[in-house]
Amino acid sequence: MKKILLIFTFFVSLFGYDVKEFVTCKDVENLKPVNITNLFTTNDKKVYAFAYFTNIEKNTLIDFVWEKEVNGIWKLYADIQLPIFAGVRWRTYSNITIRPFFTGKWRVSIVEGNNTIDTKEFNITDTNSSN
């Protein structure tokens, strides 16, 4: 257990911040995630990826990388770069608009440089087939 904690501590200090929360949700209001889930339908308007960082040592650019699985291969859909600023905490989010043909398995990752910090997988289903 001590090894895991040491590795985690090293990982956090390597990037100069902690990721306190990273979720997918149906909306963000007042910088808080609303309806946290990993299941969406084509009736939902958007998928949001919400991230909450703490103990940020310096201004940094992070990417929200959105990918869809196609025939077993992850295909890049969007790469959205956003800043996080030095300080005690910073909250940010990115989103994609759901289209009728977006059904399937998806993932969104927080990436800094060439390093993936965290990844959340989610599914979008067709509302006609879910009944």
Q: Is the pLDDT of residue 51 over 50?
A: yes
List domains and CATH numbers for the chain: 2-125 (2.60.40.10)
pTM for this prediction: 0.85
In this predicted model, what pLDDT tens digit does every residue of 3-21 receive, in sequence order?
Answer: 544 444 444 456 799 999 9
Q: Is 3 exposed, middle or buried (0-12, 13-18, 19+ CB in 10 A)?
A: exposed
Residue 15 has φ and ψ, to the nearest 5°, of -100, -10
In this predicted model, what pLDDT tens digit does every residue of 57-103 receive, in sequence order?
Answer: 999 999 999 999 999 999 999 999 999 999 999 999 999 999 999 99
